[in-house]
């Protein structure tokens, strides 16, 4: 056989022996050095093989949030429109390639109210800030394997994230729902106090800076009490749940992130009205419903509905207190004419909860208690995003016919 024919045959045999769809795995390492003296973090992205990625197009937000860029390969900053967010495009050099920059950590929503903060002893932030969202253009057949490592200041003892720990200050970043794996979710580093337990399939950690008044055991106790109801309702359970908190001047609110949530340490775990900021954000983490087309009422309404309902199912709300809560919801949502909108306030959420309660009763009645709003919610969790029309169709599918409750001006 001629040499050329042998080479062709050898290549053909090698192709037959290669696993179908085998990916070329390329390491993407994030290194974060926290710099409390300048209220910044120095972030470095390192690709083991820069040729695997054609480009990363970052959303850099407002000018000044990110600075001091250094890149192996091409780096270009610009804006698509005068009022648009600043963007930065990295086209890595071949071989081992890095992009480094600095990011400002402390950010205030208003005067003396921070949603991320760094002090001389600790930092509380969202990982979304460390590595901005980006559009990834990579070579076919490439799979990026991402890891995150922190370099802490002297005297800082530990760091917590919602991602699996693979070393003292190292974490594996793997989000099957996104092409570009970046370290999202709430993070906390410094001199910390923490409590841990396992609830069902989930490792739960409650952490805060020392001296911030976070009632860590109270949080774990409430979650332990309600957890069986959460598990019975939601089929998708995170492997890890991180709850972080701090006192003033941190923002006096609560907010869910990837596998994590923030809770101001002075917020009541259950308010006088019977609602629970803690349970509301836990449900956001579990359900992960992405609203679209001016339909924020769905995710926000379901979170508040289940924060009340699951506490009631667990025996934490008496019938008398439940009726009093219904009266408060009715009063708050009385003047709401429409649930549609991008950002919904408390009156809209209250009215949404009442509508969802009515829908649950309608489903239970028409299906002779064989189905409920829980079935609708489980279907919603399968969708990448949901709007009002999709919600109505799913609900009527579970109901087995048209819904009188959803035939409402509130949804138009």
**Is-contact 260 203, C-beta < 8 A?**
no
Q: The domain spanning residue 359 has which CATH number? A: 1.10.390
Name the phi and psi angles at 232, rounded to 5: -70, -25
How does DSSP classify residue 246?
-
d(CA 32, CA 43): 5
How far apart are alpha carbons 63 and 281 in whole angstroms? 31
404 in a structural domain: yes
Task: For residue 249, say if its preceding peptide bond is cis, omega within 30 degrees of 0.
Answer: yes
244 in a domain, yes or no?
no
pLDDT on residue 76: 96
Report the number of distinct structural domains present in the chain.
2
CA distance linking residue 30 with residue 282, whole number of Å: 27
Q: What is the DSSP string of 319-367?
A: HHHHHHHHHHHHHHTTT-----BSS--HHHHHHHHHHHHHHHHHHHHHT
What's the distance, CA 53 to chain centroid? 26
Residue 267 inside a domain? The answer is no
* Residue 270 resides in a domain: no
**What pLDDT was estimated at residue 7?**
40
**Beta-strand relationship, 260-263 and 170-173:** unpaired
Torsions phi, psi for 392 (to 5 deg): -65, -45
Distance, CA of 91 to CA of 180 (rounded, Å): 15
Last residue of a domain, one of 117, 152, 187: 152
Note the pLDDT of residue 79: 66
Asked if the structure places residue 277 within a domain, the reply is no
In a domain, 165, yes or no: no
Map 119-157 to HEC letters.
CCCEEEEEHHHHCCCEEEEECCCEEEEEEEEEECCCCCC
Cβ neighbors of 146 (< 8 A, separation 6 or more) are: 27, 28, 29, 30, 172, 173, 174, 181, 182, 183
Determine the pLDDT at residue 149. Answer: 98
- The reported pLDDT for the residue numbered 6 is 46
Q: How many CB atoms lie within 10 A of CB 158?
A: 15
With b meaning 16 or more CB within 10 Å and e meaning fewer, what string describes 267-286? eeebeebbbbbbbbbbbbbb
Start-to-end CA distance of the chain, whole Å, equals 75
**What are 295's strand-pairing partners?**
341
Question: What is the domain extent for residue 313?
Answer: 289-411
Instruction: Please state the pTM of the whole predicted model.
Output: 0.91
Which of 133, 152, 171 terminates a domain? The answer is 152
Going residue by residue through the chain (412 aa), what tens digit of pLDDT does each one get?
A: 544 444 444 443 344 444 545 679 999 999 999 999 999 999 999 999 999 999 999 999 988 899 999 999 999 998 656 567 899 999 999 999 999 999 999 999 888 899 999 999 999 999 999 999 999 999 999 999 999 999 999 999 999 999 999 999 999 999 988 899 999 999 999 999 999 999 999 999 999 999 999 999 999 999 999 999 999 999 989 999 999 999 999 999 999 999 999 999 999 999 887 789 999 999 999 999 999 999 999 999 999 999 999 999 999 999 999 999 999 999 999 999 999 988 889 999 999 999 999 999 999 999 999 999 999 999 999 999 999 999 999 999 999 999 999 999 999 8
252 is a domain residue: no
325 in a structural domain: yes
3 state DSSP class of 274: coil
Give how far Cα 204 sits from Cα of 92, 125, 223, 245, 261, Å.
38, 19, 9, 14, 11
CA 400, distance to chain mean position in Å, is 33
Dump the DSSP string for 171-191. EEE--TT-SS----SEEEEES
Residue 85 DSSP code: P
CATH code, 70: 2.60.40
The residue among 105, 137, 152 that closes a domain is: 152
Of the candidates 182, 184, 181, the one whose C-alpha atom is nearest the C-alpha of residue 162 is: 184
């Amino acid at each position: 056989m001629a040499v050329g024919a042998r080479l062709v045959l050898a290549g053909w045999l090698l192709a037959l022996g290669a696993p179908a769809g085998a990916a070329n795995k390329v390491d993407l390492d994030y290194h974060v050095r926290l710099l409390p003296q300048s209220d910044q973090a120095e972030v470095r992205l390192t690709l083991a093989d820069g040729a695997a990625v054609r480009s990363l197009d970052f959303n850099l937000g407002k000018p000044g949030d990110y600075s001091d860029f250094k890149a192996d390969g091409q780096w270009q900053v610009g804006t698509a429109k005068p009022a648009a967010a600043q963007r930065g495009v990295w086209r890595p050099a071949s071989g081992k390639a890095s992009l480094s920059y600095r990011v400002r950590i402390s950010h205030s929503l208003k005067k003396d109210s921070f949603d991320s903060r760094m002090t001389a002893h600790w930092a509380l932030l969202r990982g979304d800030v460390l590595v901005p969202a980006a559009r990834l253009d990579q070579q076919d057949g490439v799979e990026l394997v991402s890891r995150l490592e922190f370099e802490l200041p002297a005297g800082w003892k530990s760091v917590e994230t919602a991602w699996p720990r693979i070393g003292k200050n190292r974490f594996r970043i793997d989000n099957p729902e996104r092409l570009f794996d970046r370290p999202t979710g709430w993070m906390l580093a410094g001199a910390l106090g923490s409590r841990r337990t396992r609830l069902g399939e989930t490792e739960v950690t409650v952490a805060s800076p020392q001296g911030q008044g976070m009632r860590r055991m109270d949080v774990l106790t409430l979650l332990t009490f309600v957890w069986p109801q959460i598990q019975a309702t939601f089929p998708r359970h995170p492997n890890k749940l991180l709850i972080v908190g701090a006192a003033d001047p941190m923002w006096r609110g609560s907010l869910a992130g990837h596998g994590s949530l923030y809770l101001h340490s002075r917020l009541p775990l259950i308010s006088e009205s019977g609602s629970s900021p803690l349970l509301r954000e836990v449900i956001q983490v579990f359900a992960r419903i992405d609203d679209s087309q001016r339909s924020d009422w769905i995710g926000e309404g379901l979170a508040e509905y289940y924060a009340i309902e699951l506490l009631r199912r667990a025996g934490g709300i008496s019938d008398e207190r439940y009726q009093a809560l219904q009266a408060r919801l009715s009063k708050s949502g009385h003047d709401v004419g429409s649930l549609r909108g991008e950002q919904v306030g408390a009156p809209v959420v209250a009215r949404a909860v009442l509508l969802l309660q009515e829908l649950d009763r309608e489903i239970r009645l028409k299906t002779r208690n064989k189905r409920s709003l829980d079935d609708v919610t489980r279907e919603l969790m399968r969708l990448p995003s949901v709007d009002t029309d999709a919600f109505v169709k799913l609900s009527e599918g579970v109901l087995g016919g048209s819904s009188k409750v959803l035939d409402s001006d509130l949804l138009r």
